[in-house]
Amino acid sequence: MLRWVRQQLGFDPPHQSDTRTIYIANRFPQHGHYVPQKFADNRIISSKYTVWNFVPKNLFEQFRRVANFYFLIIFLVQLMIDTPTSPITSGLPLFFVITVTAIKQGYEDWLRHKADNEVNGAPVYVVRSGGLVKTRSKNIRVGDIVRVAKDETFPVDLVLLSSDRVDGSCHVTTASLDGETNLKTHVAVPETAVLQSVANLDKLVAVIECQQPEADLYRFVGRITVSQQAEEIVRPLGPESLLLRGARLKNTKEIFGVAVYTGMETKMALNYKSKSQKRSAVEKSMNSFLIIYLIILLFEAILSTILKYAWQAEEKWDEPWYNEKTEHERNSSKILRFISDFLAFLVLYNFIIPISLYVTVEMQKFLGSFFIGWDLDLYHEETNQRAQVNTSDLNEELGQVEYVFTDKTGTLTENEMQFRECSINGIKYQEVNGKLTPEGFSEDSPDGNRHGLVKEEELFLKAVCLCHTVQINADQTDGADGPWHANGITSPLEYYASSPDEKALVEAASRVGVVFTGISGDSMEVKSLGKPERYKLLHVLEFDPNRRRMSVIVESPSGEKLLFTKGAESSILPRSKSGEIDKTRIHVDEFALKGLRTLCVAYRRFTPEEYQEVGKRLQEARTALQQREERLADVFNFIERDLELLGATGVEDKLQEKVQETIEALRLAGIKVWVLTGDKHETAVSVSLSCGHFHRTMNILELVQHKSDSTCAEQLRQLAKRIKEDHVIQHGLVVDGTSLSLALREHEKLFMEVCKNCSAVLCCRMAPLQKAKVVRLLKTSPEKPITLAIGDGANDVSMIQEAHVGIGIMGKEGRQAVRNSDYAIARFKFLSKLLFVHGHFYYIRIATLVQYFFYKNVCFITPQFLYQFFCLFSQQTLYDSVYLTLYNICFTSLPVLIYSLFEQHVHPHVLQSKPVLYRDISKNAHLGFKPFLYWTVLGFFHAFVFFYGSYLLMGEDTSLLGNGQILKPNRQMMFGNWTFGTLVFTVMVITVTMKMALETHFWTWINHFVTWGSIVFYFIFSLFYGGIIWPFLHTQDMYFVFVQLLSSGSAWFAIILIVVACLFIDVVKKVLYRHLQPTSTEKAQMYSNRVALSDEFIALQPLSRARNQLSKISLLRQVQVSTAWTPCAASQMGKQHAHLLEECWND
């Protein structure tokens, strides 16, 4: 009892078992000691908030941001003490930012709730009380028997009990889980496979013991104990018995299965893991700038407070006759007064921190990410796939990449395998017109025109046809006896395979005479030269990346037990004891030098005693609940030995289009390319040379086949020495997986030094985790370079998640890479457009946005600081509270947002054709200390000109008060104060808006509308705000101030003069730098601008030629206008634009 109480209070949590016990149909034991295990219900919850926790949880998350929390503190200070500005000035912008963000996040979560409700409410059929009961998906419990019909998705993770087929098998596609479109076969245990009706299943008494839920889609360990006639039969359960939630039933009328994992414990839900949050370099720079500006703010507040008390040290200023202190103020603590004044100045200057910066950056990233999906140049017509953005937080990081880590197969190549050559019994063969022809013989030669296959060739092809996981389209299985070619062989069957290599080999075998015609029950059917043969499939030894091979054990028509094995030569040749091993090894190396993917094929005959031992060991390992994988690995190694080598295959994987050009462009842009592949050394080197990763003139260095730390270290030192001696020559490094492990263990620094001095690095024989380790190694090096990883398969996921930017290729190896990536593209060649154009634009846009925001807030608050010197630091505000509130929200926000969405400082075609321009923005060049200092100093300079220009030009001008009339002293004081502040504010709004206009190179109608519209809106708003008495305002200091300001000619003169004075120096600086020290980007801008040919130039040409050029320019302008609002989406038109530009220039 005491222990139960302690468990309920959480002091003594109950022991979590490593396994779960499931009673099928929830038939629990009748004895009283059994305590049912608690399992999750079947609801899927992908949403983040509920109705009850949305407000507190969302507010907590938002106020974790430093800027939001800072403004909350300022707002609370304004509420608690007497401050010079209204709490509304801080509260309203804060409320606006928090509300906009909350609405965005709330809407996204509402969509998730909607999707969850749709899934959880889907109708399903469950076997209960002897019949089929219709219920909702969320009501399924662990132990329920569920019926699923053809083309339906599985609502839970099920262990297959039976199907409409006698053998209890079914076909499933897991495209929604891992993207693999091939059909996978799942089988039920024989004891339940015969129970094909609801009545029979309702009588089933069985218990399943299996592991607790885990995320691995391809791992399941369990066993089922079936009670039949007082006898208990135990059968192993593996991945072939588990039907995963989200997968779809195909080519099978219906199945019955028992629910083992439900709801958030299903493998699909466990794979919803949130990716580690990646932060861009721009975001880190923003936070650094924020800290610097916080220091400036504190400095201004402390200085103002000290100067105030220094000024008040004189008695006449401490308590002037017009502002006598109350008794309470005289008796209050000086320390408290100092703190109160410091907080008041902090509130007065707090707008130097731009609160709207974060919401503007979020909007820019979110809206800007659509341009990638709209870009027609990133659309692949053959597969109907467009680029997709999975996270918009890293857009600008695409412009900062220094290292690209790429997979080879499916990324640089098409992953479309074509059989080219093979080696059988030490003889090389090629396929010629559907026949295997030995090397050196042609079809016309006497020995080349052979009929039939010799014994070794037939056995080799049978091994290829039996040792695989290929499936046949069920709609075509009846076509096996279809039409035959003249030589008596063909295969009208359509094959499906998770491995393109296997599909290519089975199709090649069918073309030359040995046809795999399908699986019937536990038998594999093969036609050898038209003669049907049936092999009983006894065991499948599944492929795994550690063994690098797969095997099948079959019984031949003669009753002989055979093991067929195929895999990497490194895993087959050492286990072979007979056959032409040496010749085959030479042939494998020759295939690899041609860039072919190689596999070795071997077999073994079992005696009855050997097979009995094999069967016993396999049964024990497969029924084990603990350490099943380790036991199976030991048994597989025991079985796959003493092999007789049959031969090897060579399959070609074509390079993707424009891979060589893309890699060369990356190199010109200053980006180093590393290829990380699992292929063997020779194959990888051959492909690297063919795709341009390695040049023929490069000095290729090798760090391969090292078995000890000492030899590896010695080789590294020699390589480092060679690089120093031959520093003029470009070097390429080849390293294999085993040598890499040794290098990273003890000699990481030396290895990194060698790698960084090489132009290209190729890592072969790499395991998935090794790929991630290499990326992490570069990421964490002292230089902290920005890394990008690109791949198409599940083995690339760890690398993609580790890199700063992860890109998935929509290839043929499933969708796991795409699902786990930040961006996804259909082809490797699209990477150049993604980086050189989109990355370049995103970085320039957001870098200018961030700098401009800090600049305009320095312009905004510095005059407020300067004004305190003229009002005895009395904390009097220079601007009206409405202007304080709306400056960042309305008056200056839209021009910079539109700039950050549409700016194209160089034509996209120029950026893509001149990759060297990418170097101008590398290493966060536009957000370094120098640009930050320039914008900050410029902000202070403009602020000084605003304030002192207005003071010197208008300080003594009485015409400001209306037609030169002198007003009464009290009105003069009132109007003088607010009029001066309004003049400064007016000059400031115009100047900062015009500054944004100066930074804009690509003008669209939207830019014109928001730029000039912002200035017009400010004037209209000010006229209405100050020209009408608003009854809901308790004070209206600005009444008629703006009208009188605009009625003064000298005020207009002052506005124009100050704006010109501010911007003139900036314009001069731009002109001088552009002509005296132009960057590569500025040269490219001048080249692009030449499209706007002058009228004088055209006038000097012959009439016909001038007309031709004018028509081209007219078309150019039409293209510019039509593509202005979606510049990326209209990239095809952009190409036409660039082509016309070139024609004009040539003319």
> What does R_g of the chain's alpha carbons equal in angstroms?
38
Give, rounded to a whole angstrom, the gap between the first and last alpha carbons of the chain. Answer: 97
User: Which listed residue (144, 341, 407, 501) is catalytic?
Assistant: 407
Count CB-CB contacts under 10 A for residue 763.
Answer: 24
Tokens 């053998």 sit at which residue?
167
Residue 514 to residue 530: CA distance in whole angstroms: 8
For 890, list phi and psi in degrees, rounded to 5. Answer: -115, -50
Phi-psi category of residue 668: left, alpha or beta, with phi > 0 → left and psi -120 to 50 → alpha: alpha
- List CB contacts of 81: < 8 A, sequence separation 6 or more: 340, 343, 344
Segment holding 33, helix H or strand E: none
**Closest to 685 measured CA to CA, from 554, 812, 589, 815:** 589
CB contact burial 182-213 (16+ within 10 A = b; e otherwise)? bbbebbbbebbbebbebeebbebebbbbbbeb
Active site annotation includes 407: yes
Count CB-CB contacts under 10 A for residue 755.
Answer: 22
Structure tokens that stand for 1045 in this block: 């300001």
Q: CB-hemisphere CA count at 13 Å for 668?
A: 17
Residue 843 to residue 920: CA distance in whole angstroms: 11
3-state helix/strand/coil string of 656-691: CCCHHHHHHHHHHCCCEEEEECCCCHHHHHHHHHHC
**Distance, C-alpha 99 to centroid of its chain:** 28
Residue 797 to residue 74: CA distance in whole angstroms: 45
- Inter-CA distances, 46 with 119, 263, 813, Å: 11, 11, 26
- Inter-CA distances, 520 with 332, 472, 526, Å: 97, 11, 11
For 550, the 3-state DSSP assignment is strand
Q: Which residues pair with 206 in a beta bridge?
A: 226
Taking CA 222 as the corner, what is the angle to CA 217 and CA 224, rounded to the nearest 5 degrees?
Answer: 135
Residue 802 to residue 806: CA distance in whole angstroms: 8
Structure tokens that stand for 696 in this block: 């023929």
- Do residues 903 and 841 make contact, with C-beta atoms less than 8 angstroms apart? yes
Structure tokens that stand for 614 in this block: 């094999």
For residue 920, count CB atoms less than 10 angstroms from its CB and return exposed for 0-12, middle for 13-18, buried for 19 or more: middle
- List CB contacts of 171: < 8 A, sequence separation 6 or more: 183, 184, 185, 186, 249, 250, 251, 252, 471, 474
Residue 164 to residue 572: CA distance in whole angstroms: 40
Phi-psi category of residue 647: left, alpha or beta, with phi > 0 → left and psi -120 to 50 → alpha: left
For 33, list phi and psi in degrees, rounded to 5. Answer: -85, -10
Q: How many residues does the chain have?
A: 1147
- Do residues 346 and 880 make contact, with C-beta atoms less than 8 angstroms apart? no
**Closest to 472 measured CA to CA, from 505, 497, 490, 489:** 497
Q: CB-hemisphere CA count at 13 Å for 820?
A: 27
For residue 1102, count CB atoms less than 10 angstroms from its CB and return exposed for 0-12, middle for 13-18, buried for 19 or more: exposed
For 605, list phi and psi in degrees, rounded to 5. Answer: -100, 140
Q: Which residues are catalytic?
A: 407
